[in-house]
Chain A
Amino acid sequence: MSISVRGVTKDFGRFQALKRVDLEIPAGQLVALLGPSGSGKTTLLRIIAGLEFADSGTVEFDGKDITDQTARERHVGFVFQHYALFRHMTVFENIAFGLRVRPRSVRPSKQKIREKVNELLRLIQLQNQAGRYPSQLSGGQRQRVALARALAVEPSVLLLDEPFGALDAKVRQELRHWLRRLHDEVHITSVFVTHDQEEALELADLVAVMNEGRIEQVGSPDEVYNRPGSSFVYNFLGNVNLFHGRIENGKAYINDTPTGNLVLVRPHSLAISRQPNGSGNHFRATTKHINAAGPLVKIEAVTDWGAPVHVELSHECFSALQLVKDETVFIIPRDVAVFQAKDPDHI
Chain B
Amino acid sequence: MSSSALPRIGIAPGIRATSKATSEPAFVRRLLIGIALLFLALFLFLPLGVVFYTALGDGVRIYLQTFRDPDTVSAIRLTLLAAGIAVPLNMVFGVAAAWAIGKFEFVGKSLLITLIDLPFSVSPVVSGLIYVLLFGLQGSLGPWLIAHNIRVIFAVPGIVLATIFVTFPFVARELLPMVQAQGNDEEEAALTLGASGWQTFFRVTLPNVKWALIYGVILCNARAMGEFGAVSVVSGHIRGLTDTMPLHIEVLYNDYRFTAAFAVASLLALLALMTLVVKSAVEWKSQQPAKRAASDGEMSA
Contact = CB atoms under 8 A, between A and B. Distances in A.
Interface of A: 49-51, 70-72, 75-78, 80, 82, 84-88, 97-98, 101-102, 133, 135-138, 149-150, 152-153
B293 interface: yes
Contacts of B199: 101
B301 A138 contact: yes
A149 B189 CA distance: 9
B188 A101 contact: no
Contacts of A86: 186, 189-190, 203-204
A42 B208 CA distance: 26
A151 to B, nearest CB: 11
B300 to A, nearest CB: 6
Nearest to B189: A84
A76 B193 CA distance: 8
17 contacts: A51-B191, A72-B192, A76-B192, A78-B188, A78-B189, A84-B188, A84-B189, A87-B208, A88-B208, A97-B203, A98-B195, A101-B196, A135-B297, A136-B297, A137-B300, A138-B301, A153-B194
B191 A87 contact: no
A88 B190 CA distance: 13
Contacts of B88: none
Given A86-B186, A101-B203, A136 B293 contact: yes
A87 B186 contact: yes
B106 to A, nearest CB: 15
Contacts of B255: none
Given A137-B300, A138-B301, A101 B193 contact: yes
Most A Cβ at <10 Å: residue of B186, B193, B194, B208: B193
Given A97-B203, A133-B289, A138-B301, A80 B189 contact: yes
B207 interface: yes
Most A Cβ at <10 Å: residue of B189, B191, B192, B195: B192
Interface of B: 185-186, 188-196, 199, 203-204, 207-208, 210, 289-290, 292-294, 296-297, 300-301
A101 B200 CA distance: 9
8 nearest CB pairs, A to B: A135-B293, A98-B193, A84-B185, A78-B192, A101-B195, A84-B189, A136-B296, A88-B207
A70 B195 contact: no
B296 A153 contact: no
A102 B186 CA distance: 17
A143 to B, nearest CB: 13
B186 A84 contact: yes
Contacts, number: 78
Given A86-B186, A88-B207, A101-B203, A138 B300 contact: yes
Contacts of A136: 292-293, 296-297, 300
B91 to A, nearest CB: 19
A286 to B, nearest CB: 46
B180 to A, nearest CB: 16
B181 to A, nearest CB: 12
Contacts of A88: 207-208, 210
Contact of B296 (A75, A135, A150): A135
B262 to A, nearest CB: 44
Given A85-B189, A133-B293, A135-B289, 8 more contacts: A70-B191, A84-B189, A85-B186, A97-B195, A98-B193, A101-B193, A138-B301, A150-B193
A25 B191 CA distance: 24
Contacts of B192: 49-51, 71-72, 76-78, 150
Contact of A97 (B185, B190, B208, B296): B190
Contacts of A82: 185
Contacts of A135: 289-290, 293-294, 296-297
Contacts of B293: 133, 135-136
Contact of B191 (A71, A102, A152): A71
A98 B194 contact: yes
Contact of A71 (B185, B188, B210, B294): B188
Contacts of B193: 97-98, 101, 149-150, 152-153
B229 to A, nearest CB: 39
A88 B290 CA distance: 11
Contacts of A149: 189, 193
Nearest to B301: A138
B105 to A, nearest CB: 11
Nearest to A98: B193
Nearest to A46: B188
Nearest to A136: B296
Most A Cβ at <10 Å: residue of B186, B194, B203, B296: B194
Nearest to B197: A72
A133 B290 CA distance: 11
Contacts of A85: 186, 189
B234 to A, nearest CB: 41
Contact of A80 (B185, B210, B294, B297): B185
